[in-house]
């Protein structure tokens, strides 16, 4: 009887171990297929988990850098729009200067009307400098003379863009600024200093055009090229993360089916062992 008991005990333990292994494999495959992730805990692949988390951290940084690049492009567009408006206003002022310089064909009333238009254009230039902003940050009033952008996963690597201060008190030549063209100013139409006024307008126009060219070059050669590199890097990192962490659905499905078959077989074997034990115990009780 001792031999019978030990025999059944060994068979019973073997069947239980087989069932436990089959259930563990079934649970693992079911989890991987449900989450579509091969690594759901550290024990699944310790080395793979470390590599996966490092890649995910780098991808997160690159995505943030890509968002910065997109925001920087928006900043350039808003800035360029404001500068373009200033350029058009300067052209208007230039036209009024040329028109007013022809004293033989222009009446005093017409010249006064031109001065009113010049004053309005100068006021509009100051308004553009004070109101051109993105996300609540003013761009052309001098408070953001230099913008810093982070286009890399390393926050220490930054790119800077210098912006002009758009104001009639700062735009112009060293001899005279745009503000001098206002009514009562040293270069107003009433003063007759058309050459000095034109010099201030031309200098201001060159400053605005230079700023637009600088911003455009920054967008084309820094932002656009960076966005292409970031997009390629994100694509490659995502592929690497997928290779390491994603579930091979076909392989895991076959493992799931195998685990299901083994589980059913182990359950059947355990039932047979229990049935035989019941038979032996029944004979012994008789």
CATH number at residue 124: 1.20.1330.10
Q: What is the pLDDT of residues 105-146, one digit of tens each?
A: 788 899 999 999 999 999 999 999 999 999 889 999 988 778
Query: Based on the domain organization, do 212 and 256 belong to the same domain?
Result: no
Give the C-alpha separation, 200 to 121, whole Å. 14
Confidence check: pLDDT of 260 > 60: yes
**171-227 tens-digit pLDDT:** 999 999 999 999 999 999 999 999 999 999 999 999 999 999 999 999 999 999 999
Average pLDDT over residues 78-98: 96
User: Do 255 and 118 share a structural domain?
Assistant: no
Phi and psi torsions of 147, nearest 5°: -100, 135
Q: Tell me the average pLDDT across 228-254.
A: 85
**Quick one: 181 and 261 in the same domain?**
no
Last residue of a domain, one of 173, 197, 218: 218
Domain count, the chain: 2
How confident is residue 279, by pLDDT bands cut at 50, 70 and 90?
low
User: What pTM does this model have?
Assistant: 0.73
Place of tokens 């222009």: 106
With respect to residue 116, please indicate whether it lies within any of the assigned structural domains: yes
Q: Are residues 274 and 198 in the same domain?
A: no
Residue 185 is assigned to a structural domain of this protein: yes
Residue 226 lies inside a defined structural domain of this protein: no
Asked, for residue 60, whether it belongs to a domain, the answer is no
Give me the domain span that covers residue 87: 71-218
Residue 107 and residue 155 in one domain: yes
Q: Which of 164, 167, 93, 162 is nearest to 130 (CA)?
A: 167
Tokens of 46: 């310790």
Contacts of 190 (CB under 8 A, 6+ apart): 111, 115, 183, 184
The reply to whether 80 and 118 lie within a common domain is yes
Backbone angles phi, psi at 158, to 5 degrees: -130, 165
Q: Which of 30-39, 64-73, 80-89, 165-174 has the lowest mean pLDDT?
A: 30-39
Asked whether residue 160 is domain-assigned, the answer is yes
212 & 252 share domain: no
Contact (CB, 8 A) for 196 and 187: yes
Residue 196 lies in a domain: yes
Mean pLDDT of 37-65: 87
Half-sphere exposure of 276 (CA within 13 A, CB side): 12
Same domain flag for 98 and 205? yes
**Residue 78 to residue 18: CA distance in whole angstroms:** 69
Look at residue 234 and tell me if it is in a domain.
no
Q: Round to whole Å and give the CA distance between 196 and 103.
A: 17
Q: Percentage of the chain with pLDDT > 90?
A: 55
The SS3 of residue 83 is: helix
Mark whether 95 and 213 lie in a shared domain.
yes
Tell me the C-alpha to C-alpha distance, in Å, between residue 65 and each of 32, 39, 214, 230, 238.
Answer: 32, 27, 22, 8, 15
């Amino acid at each position: 009887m001792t031999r019978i008991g030990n025999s059944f005990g060994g068979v019973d333990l073997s069947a239980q171990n087989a069932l436990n292994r089959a259930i563990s494999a079934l649970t693992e495959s079911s989890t991987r297929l449900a989450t579509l992730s091969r690594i759901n805990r550290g024990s699944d692949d310790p080395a793979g988990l470390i590599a996966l988390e490092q890649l995910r951290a780098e991808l997160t940084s690159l995505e943030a850098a890509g968002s910065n690049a997109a925001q920087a492009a928006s900043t350039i567009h808003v800035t360029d729009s404001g500068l373009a408006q200033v350029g058009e206003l300067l052209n208007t002022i230039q036209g009024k200067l040329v028109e007013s310089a022809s004293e033989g064909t222009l009446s005093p009333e017409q010249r006064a009307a031109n001065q009113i238009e010049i004053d309005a254009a100068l006021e509009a230039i100051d308004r553009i400098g004070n109101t051109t902003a993105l996300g609540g940050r003013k761009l052309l009033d001098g408070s953001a003379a230099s913008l810093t952008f982070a286009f890399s996963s390393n926050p220490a690597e930054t790119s800077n863009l210098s912006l002009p201060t758009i104001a009639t008190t700062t735009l112009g030549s060293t001899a005279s600024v745009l503000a001098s063209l206002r009514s009562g100013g040293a270069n107003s139409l009433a003063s007759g200093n058309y050459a000095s006024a034109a010099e201030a307008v031309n200098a201001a126009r060159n400053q605005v055009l230079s700023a637009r060219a600088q911003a455009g070059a920054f967008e084309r050669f820094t932002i656009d090229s960076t966005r292409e590199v970031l997009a390629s890097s994100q694509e490659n990192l995502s592929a690497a993360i997928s290779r390491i962490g994603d579930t091979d659905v076909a392989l895991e499905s076959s493992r799931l089916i195998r685990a299901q078959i083994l589980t059913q077989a182990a359950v059947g074997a355990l039932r047979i062992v229990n049935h035989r034990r019941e038979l032996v115990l029944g004979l012994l009780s008789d």
